């Protein structure tokens, strides 16, 4: 069986498909926006859930130590990060964890650094929790590579700046931050008393020769100053199980986070999610290797296509399955650009502007699909560009 074949998700309430009319004004688009994969969840996960359902009761359950230990072993083997069991706690999602951490480690009105462009809930979690949003624009160098600008960041912070939200690897620009970059950023935060909340949900989707460095693994000081958010949702295409973890080594920070977690009371999660979580981390390595091979093939196809279409440039995609398309050479406004992809290419992509003002002129394309789907999508864009040039 082809594990990465096209799968019909119609009639499943899949967000990517069900919301087409609402988001794009038409059902007639190939949806390549929200960050889940149109690829089957690993059989080891599905089989484990089926086996669990042989027991006739699905009631309240606590997340087992063996489930956490499976993730601990995964992180050690895949990222060289040694995690202790006491550092981990359940969360229903990374976004929920961000909100909980913001409330635990800052007060209303305190400053929170968010790097633009970035995953949209970073902005909303700061605003919705009545914190002051400090927008730090990522800088593109002469080669088009996004980087931190710590000299500029120094001018933006105040004594009331308490937190930095980091996306590592980065969504949507696809950067895998180097050890040196992270060390410099980490030292900056230590010098200014800023706690780091590091969203590392995409850490397992990284392409050679790049390597993900868990922020908390870089030094003892950073380990004690970092809240790490991880989980199997992106890696194994199981976001529908609503399960992730929060890793906090510092006893002081852990106690503050736990107090807020108990206040919002989201419990220990669901029985089937626990089962899926453990199965993915314990038995998913072989599937994961094949997935990276498939995604890398699609990434290569995208790069080759972009090399032949100078009006749309592809930012360096070092990680994730999300291509950051630089469409500024088309000379279109953001609304016109979105309409070009919807009406002329029949594709539903994520508008770059939704990731912040630095995303103006960009679009994000999810290439975690069957290769034939990606080929078809790129063909649609090529045809739309040709028709535009022929007019």
Q: What is the pLDDT of residues 97-109, one digit of tens each?
A: 999 999 999 999 9
Task: For 345-389, write each residue's pLDDT tens digit.
Answer: 999 999 999 999 999 999 999 999 999 999 999 999 999 999 988
Q: Where does the pLDDT of residue 114 fall: very low under 50, low under 70, confident under 90, or very high at 90 and above?
A: very high
pLDDT at 263 over 60: yes
- Mean pLDDT, the chain, whole residue set: 96
Q: What is the mean pLDDT of residues 244-251?
A: 98
pLDDT at 390 over 80: no
Q: Where does the pLDDT of residue 191 fall: very low under 50, low under 70, confident under 90, or very high at 90 and above?
A: very high
Lowest mean pLDDT among 85-94, 291-300, 308-317: 308-317
Domains of the chain: 15-41+285-390 (3.90.1150.10), 47-283 (3.40.640.10)
Task: For 27-84, write each residue's pLDDT tens digit.
Answer: 999 999 999 999 999 999 999 999 999 999 999 999 999 999 999 999 999 999 999 9
pLDDT of residue 78: 98
Three-class HEC string of the chain? CCCCCCCCCCCCCCHHHHCHHHHHCCCCCEECCCCCCCCCCCHHHHHHHHHHCCCCCCCCCCCCHHHHHHHHHHHHHHHCCCCCHHHEEEECCHHHHHHHHHHHHCCCCCEEEEEECCCCHHHHHHHHCCCEEEEEECEECCCCCEECCHHHHHHHCCCCEEEEEEECCCCCCCCCCCHHHHHHHHHHHHHCCCEEEEECCCCCCECCCCCCCCHHHCCHHHHCCEEEEECCCCCCCCHHHCCEEEEECCHHHHHHHHHHHHHHCCCCCCHHHHHHHHHHHHHCHHHHHHHHHHHHHHHHHHHHHHHCCCCCEECCCCECCEEEEECHHHCCCHHHHHHHHHHHCCEECEEHHHHCHHHCCEEEEECCCCHHHHHHHHHHHHHHHHHHHHC
């Amino acid at each position: 069986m082809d594990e990465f074949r096209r799968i019909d998700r119609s009639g499943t309430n899949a967000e990517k498909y069900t919301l087409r009319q609402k988001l794009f004004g038409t059902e007639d688009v190939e949806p390549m926006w929200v960050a889940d994969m149109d690829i089957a969840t690993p059989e080891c996960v599905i089989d484990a859930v089926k086996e669990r359902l042989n027991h006739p009761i699905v009631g309240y359950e606590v997340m087992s130590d063996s489930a956490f230990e499976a993730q601990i072993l995964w992180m050690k083997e895949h990222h060289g990060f040694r995690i202790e069991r006491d550092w981990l706690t359940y969360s229903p999602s990374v976004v929920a964890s961000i909100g909980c951490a913001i409330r635990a480690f800052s007060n209303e009105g305190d400053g929170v650094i968010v790097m633009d462009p970035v995953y949209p809930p970073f902005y909303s979690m700061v605003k919705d929790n009545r914190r002051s949003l400090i927008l730090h624009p990522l800088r593109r160098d002469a080669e088009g590579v996004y980087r931190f600008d710590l000299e500029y960041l120094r001018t933006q912070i105040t004594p009331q700046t308490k937190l930095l939200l980091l996306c590592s690897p980065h969504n949507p620009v696809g950067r895998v931050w180097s050890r040196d970059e992270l060390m410099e950023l980490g030292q900056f935060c230590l010098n200014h008393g800023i706690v780091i909340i590091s969203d590392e949900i995409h850490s397992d989707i990284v392409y050679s020769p790049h390597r993900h460095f868990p922020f908390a693994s870089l030094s003892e000081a950073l380990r004690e100053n970092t809240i790490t958010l991880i989980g199997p949702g992106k890696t194994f295409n199981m976001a529908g199980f609503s399960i992730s973890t929060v890793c906090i080594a510092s006893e002081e920070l852990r106690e503050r986070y736990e107090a807020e977690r108990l206040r919002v009371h989201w419990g220990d999660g669901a029985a089937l999610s626990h089962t899926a979580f453990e199965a993915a981390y314990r038995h998913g390595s072989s599937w994961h290797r094949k997935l990276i091979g498939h995604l890398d093939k699609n990434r290569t196809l995208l790069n080759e296509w972009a090399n032949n279409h100078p009006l749309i440039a592809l930012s360096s995609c070092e990680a994730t399955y999300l291509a950051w398309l630089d469409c500024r050479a088309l000379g279109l406004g953001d609304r016109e650009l979105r309409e070009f992809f919807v009406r002329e290419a029949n594709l539903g992509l994520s508008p770059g502007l939704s990731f912040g003002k630095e995303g103006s002129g960009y679009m994000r394309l999810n290439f975690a699909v069957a290769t034939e789907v990606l080929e078809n999508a790129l063909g649609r864009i090529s045809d739309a560009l040709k028709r535009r040039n022929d007019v």
